[in-house]
Structure 1
């Protein structure tokens, strides 16, 4: 994940359990000599009412972590632009991301590091599926549209429950994530409730679904941009005549509680 010998990362710190966990892991890896990068912690105070502006500066100073605290009142912009009754999250996120990219450039960083974990990635996948009509989620690594910054999510394989346990054990000063008052009824919360129920009914289901995101089969989906269905042909060499190149086999299905969520059926 480290690009170049002079890498400098902007580590985004919101004050939530995930970003505290992220920072702690990166500091530990750097201390052990396993992460040859300079780290700069950054908190973007977006002017949300009730935000405890002194919590993170005091924490970072006590930890001796290089940091930058930036104040940008994007909250007022969001309130002004978003119609009443609609969620603030989409516009708020875009404004936050733009400011973080700007700060990264000003600080000479080549990467922005975020604290999204496995459960965030799963929730985003199902939000795109249910509401966006597409198969997509947040990747662990990407390049921004301008092509000058990497974006990393080192906690991509970490369960939210593990972040919560770690943050509680470390007694971090947690800042609530619902200060804007726009959280009730959010699509993400609804998806989270669905996943919680699935996990309750079938323990381990989240991890099975997460592994599926690393095991895509374009030939068994419907997107012609990913698979040339029109170009499929039959083998016509004697005994193989009539055997299709694309065969229905090893299609993962759920057969029932006795077979487990990873049961397979062979159509041959």
Structure 2
């Protein structure tokens, strides 16, 4: 596909180039890969699929795309809109039905994040779908802001210095998770999806907007950005510029890393 109708061509090229740069920098996709693309129906996953389709047609390598949506069982979740979107890109959507909606309400530990628990369950379902569909990669739509917010959440509330990786192998070693949107700003994704007139779909979870800690990180970053315009890019760059000698991890010292 070329630049979607209504979208600023310069912005579209910027997004495509950013995703392509991430794929090159981190070696995310190689010839012959079969990629399970997690499609929630939100702006990030829909844009991810659009970009992967375009790059698939331009790339000097061959790879396959297998879009998958997890239906957790929340009443009113609209898979038809997602199916139509995927079909317009020339692909077929695989829908995995799970009972996560009822499981979450019975198994969630007091004080735990509803959204985080649900995300872990969905991730497990996506791993299962990827295996069943013969995929070796699982592509997720996390963007630059997600990486930064996760970094701050872990520092502020857990006391660990970590975020997400652009490429990571699952515990069983058979599926590699890739995040091609790592360099893309959330505001650019929002603008592109709006310009393209894309209909997004909510998971219809009754507490979908209740991740208060992440919202606090968003608000904090927004305030800081008024004074330090480059703060988000600087924080993302910091994730790729780690200097262990200047940290306090004693395990690294024991291993002779520092």
- TM-score for the superposition, normalised by structure 1: 0.80
Identify if the C-alpha distance between structure 1 residues 231 and 70 changes in structure 2 by more than 3 Å, giving closer, same or farther: closer
| 2:252 is the counterpart of 1:226 | yes
Which consecutive residues of structure 2, in runs of 5 or more, have no partner in the other structure? 1-26
| 2:123 is the counterpart of 1:112 | no
| 2:161 is the counterpart of 1:151 | no
SS class of match (1:203): coil
| 2:127 is the counterpart of 1:96 | no
Greater helix share, 1 or 2? 2
Could you give the per-residue CA deviations for residues 99-151 of structure 1, whole angstroms, max 9, x where no partner exists? 10010000000010000001000000011101111100100001000011110
Identify if the C-alpha distance between structure 1 residues 215 and 230 changes in structure 2 by more than 3 Å, giving closer, same or farther: closer
Trace 1:157-236 onto structure 2 (pairs within 5 A).
157-176=183-202, 179-184=205-210, 186-227=212-253
Native 8 Å contact 2:74 2:204 kept in 1: no
Relative contact order higher in (CA < 8 Å, ≥ 6 apart): 2
Q: Please, which of 148, 152, 162 is the counterpart of residue 122 of structure 1? A: 148
Tell me which residue corresponds to 2:66.
40
Q: How many residues align?
A: 232
Greater C-alpha Rg: 1
Q: Please, which of 16, 28, 32 is the counterpart of residue 54 of structure 2? A: 28
Which consecutive residues of structure 1, in runs of 5 or more, have no partner in the other structure? 233-268
| 2:86 is the counterpart of 1:72 | no
SS class of match (1:226): helix
Trace 1:132-143 onto structure 2 (pairs within 5 A).
132-143=158-169
Q: 1:231: how far off?
A: 11
Distance, in Å, in 1 between the alignment partners of 2:146 and 2:223 is 16
Deviates more, 1:213-222 or 1:28-37: 28-37
Native 8 Å contact 1:29 1:35 kept in 2: no
Tell me which residue corresponds to 1:63.
89
Native 8 Å contact 1:121 1:156 kept in 2: yes
